[in-house]
Copies of this chain bind each other. A is one copy, B any other.
Amino acid sequence: MTTKFVTPDSVWADIEKVRAVSPLVHNITNYVVMDVTANALLAVGASPVMAHALQEVEQMTTLAHALVLNIGTLSENWIEAMLKAQRQANKLNKPVVLDPVGLGATEYRAETISRILNNGDVTVIRGNASEIGNLCGMVAQTKGVDSTTNAENVIEQAENYAKAHNQIIAISGATDYITNGTTTIQVENGNAMMGKVTGMGCTATAMIGAFLGVNENAYLATVHAMIAMGIAGERAAQQANGPGSFRNLFMDQLYSLSAADIDSLMKVPDYAAAA
């Protein structure tokens, strides 16, 4: 695969599919971000559902197009629900996205990520640079759930990890990096204001779930989702007076993204170089 496959048209095609199919995204996620995540999924055209009871996660995953696991506010029964849902998704060949929120902050988060990765397959892991650094065995410090390093410092390890584990990894930051170990695409869309609204990273993870629900090429789906997030964020930031107005403008922009927006704003250096 070369990056010439990521074009404004390929991004737009997935957005149109999300709007047409309205993929059901089953989120087992943290309490803080449920509202913003559900709203972003609705805004982009997907259908969010949250369900964490052991009694129903298998059935919900069976109905869903994709499963999103997020360890932001852990507890034991939620972890068991994640593991059960993951096994069901694996059994049915449904994509699974994992957000290792705060990995590096506590041992419990490290153990939980290990349990999930030993339990079965994960299609995509998305995190900030601290989280991905820790995933790859670096001892990057995290500050709670906020990153203390840059994607540039962990991308090499992430590529090695992705290759060794046959894994797609997305690192969010000023520049996003999406790698499958062979190809790495940089996405320069986005705006620093996204870091001033809680749950924007978690929302990117859920957005990847929506795109995985309509595109069997998981790598492209991940890149497309990050581009869509970034462009909506940029457009929102242009009009925002701060993080409060930004959040709503972001939802409005996700809802109204057009082919022309993607065309004019997509910033993928490899694509530009190839064009």
Contact = CB atoms under 8 A, between A and B. Distances in A.
Interface of A: 22, 24, 26, 30-36, 38-39, 42-43, 47-53, 55-56, 59-60, 63-64, 72-77, 102, 105-109, 143-146, 195-199, 240-245, 247-256
A241 to B, nearest CB: 5
Contacts of A63: 105, 143-144
Contact of A75 (B22, B53, B250): B53
A197 B39 contact: yes
Given A38-B198, A51-B105, 9 more contacts: A42-B198, A43-B243, A51-B74, A60-B106, A240-B252, A242-B256, A244-B247, A244-B249, A245-B249
This chain: how many copies in the complex?
A: 3
Contacts of A30: 50
Contact of A73 (B52, B145, B241): B52
Contacts of A42: 195-198, 243
Contacts of A252: 240-245
B244 A39 contact: yes
A240 B256 CA distance: 12
22 contacts: A22-B146, A31-B31, A32-B35, A32-B50, A35-B35, A35-B198, A42-B196, A43-B242, A49-B102, A49-B144, A49-B145, A51-B106, A52-B75, A55-B108, A56-B108, A60-B105, A60-B106, A196-B255, A240-B252, A244-B252, A247-B248, A248-B248
B109 A56 contact: yes
A214 to B, nearest CB: 15
